Amino acid sequence: MTEGQASEAETSPGPKGATSDTSSMWIKIGLLSFGGPAGQIALMQNELVDRRKLVDEQTFLRGLNFSMLLPGPEAQQLATWLGWRIGGLWGGLFAGLAFVLPGAVLMIGLAWLAASAGDTQWARWIFAGVQPVVVAIVAQALYRIGRKALNGPAAMALALSAFVAIYFLSAPFPLIVALAGVIGLLLPHGPEQTKVDPAPPGSRGFALRVVLAFAVVVAAVYVAVRAVFGADPFDGVAELFLSAAFVTFGGAYAVLPYVADLAVESYAWLTKAEMINGLALAESTPGPLILVNVYAGFFAGWDGPGSDPTIAILTAALACFYTFAPSFMLILAAAPYVERLQNAPVARRALAGVSAAVVGVIANLAVYFGVEALAPAGAAGPLGLDLVRTAIALLAAGLAFGLNVSMQYLVALGAVTGLALGYGGLL
């Protein structure tokens, strides 16, 4: 294969049938991508593999496996890679944007509503019912991820060490991820996977061109915004969400403590309770859960009820841009090499270490949110718990673990319960 042929292969449509218009399919997936990564991946498999047969199941799984090796939301990266596989570079960009933008726009609107109405009585009641539900949802995520990642005493010890490091020692999350990857190389591991026949890697300059293009765009946005609007809060938005994007291994739950700590404690853009509210909204809207960053980004530019929301909308949009630009860059740069990189055992073993540490990080998130949601200041129950909120959390946990009720329904139930208890004088 010549250099020109390789370059054409990278950006041209993939399998037979890829020239048909798939834009409506990607928009549909973006609008219906509720239920977290599991539901989103299942929706894509149904549309692309089962119904339209645009890719076969093994190709789909190889894309999924590789997406899980990269930092960033795996469902968004899988959508981007599949879009590239079907329609080339522009197909990948369209698929990834269609997966993210509907939820991002909705999240900005909900953040505006929450910020402007957050001090009203009915809004406080809704969030008082929703926050305990979020604790149950995080606990369920902790259980599911832990069941897969903790496959032996060494992995359990690594998870416990990560929890101690981040909760008691306030160790930086990027440092925990880096150390976990190194330790993962030393952990016991199962037999190596059967190697696949790699596709031709294509032009060696393709990855570099993609990286340079995204770097230029990100730098241009940063410089332009700073020149027009100044440094504050825009430098903080860029610093937080760009750094978070490169350490988002293990899903949004893993990186949330890092985002929450800086957004709440360091920058003081929003309160811990408001961060929980943002997570609840992200759980119940389409798109990846990491869209909670858009919610936090909105509050970075919010001046209070009655103020002009223009700056807040801009900071929310920038939070979205800085969160997802690295994800697009990484998956598109690696897109032609996915088949070949499947044969890299070092990457899989490092990811196993990171996955184990992520369990400890999510346990920290459960405690972090649990204290705020179940034991707010002034609660008079045993151990400082608010008994009504604790009862809501236990009910939500029973529905989540026992009946596997979807997250968006749990959040809706929490909102209705909060309103009912508020009007009944119990909140």
Residue 378 lies in a domain: no
Between CA 218 and CA 211 the distance in angstroms is: 11
Residue 366 lies in a domain: no
Contact 336, 11 (CB under 8 A): no
Residue 278 lies in a domain: yes
DSSP-derived letter for residue 231 is: S
User: What stretches of 13-73 show up as alpha helix (H) in DSSP?
Assistant: 23-32, 36-44, 57-69
**Residue 43 vs residues 35, 47, 126, 369, 383: alpha-carbon distances, Å:** 10, 6, 30, 30, 43
Q: Tell me which residue range forms the domain holding 116.
A: 99-123+154-165+173-189+204-358
Predicted confidence (pLDDT) per residue in 323-359, tens digit: 999 999 999 998 888 766 656 677 777 778 888 888 8
Residue 398 lies in a domain: no
Q: Does the N-terminal peptide bond of residue 345 adopt cis geometry, omega within 30 degrees of 0?
A: no
> In this predicted structure, what is the pLDDT of residue 35?
64
End-to-end CA, the chain: 69
Helix axes 345-374, 153-167, angle to 10 degrees: 50
> In this predicted structure, what is the pLDDT of residue 178?
86
* Buried-state track 169-185, b at ≥16 Cβ within 10 A, e below 16: eeeebeebbebbbebbe
The radius of gyration of the chain's CA atoms, rounded to the nearest angstrom, is: 22
Instruction: Please provide the DSSP assignment of 260-279 as one string.
Output: HIIIIIIS-SS-HHHHHHHH
Residue with tokens 């909705």: 106
Number of domains in the chain: 1
Residue 145 lies in a domain: no
Whether the predicted model's global pTM rises above the 0.85 cut? no
Residue 267 lies in a domain: yes
> In this predicted structure, what is the pLDDT of residue 199?
47
Residue 26 lies in a domain: no
Instruction: Please provide the DSSP assignment of 71-120 as one string.
Output: SS-HHHHHHHHHHHHHHHHHHHHHHHHHHHHHHHHHHHHHHHHHHHHTTS
Between CA 9 and CA 11 the distance in angstroms is: 6
**Residue 229 vs residues 220, 235, 304: alpha-carbon distances, Å:** 14, 11, 19
Handedness of CA 75, 77, 80, 83 (dihedral sign): negative
Contact 86, 15 (CB under 8 A): yes
Residue 5 lies in a domain: no
pLDDT per residue as tens, the chain (427 positions): 344 443 444 444 454 444 347 889 999 999 888 767 767 887 898 889 888 889 888 788 778 878 877 888 888 999 999 999 998 889 999 999 999 999 999 999 999 999 988 768 888 899 899 999 989 988 988 888 888 888 889 889 999 999 999 889 988 888 888 898 899 888 666 555 545 444 444 556 888 899 999 999 999 999 999 999 999 999 999 999 999 999 877 677 878 889 999 999 999 999 999 999 999 998 888 888 899 999 999 999 998 887 889 999 999 999 999 999 999 999 999 888 876 665 667 777 777 888 888 888 889 888 988 888 898 877 777 878 899 999 999 999 999 999 988 878 898 999 999 999 999 988 7
Half-sphere exposure of 67 (CA within 13 A, CB side): 24
Between CA 79 and CA 67 the distance in angstroms is: 10
Between CA 282 and CA 287 the distance in angstroms is: 8
H or E element that contains 5: helix 3-11
Between CA 309 and CA 319 the distance in angstroms is: 15
Between CA 304 and CA 274 the distance in angstroms is: 13
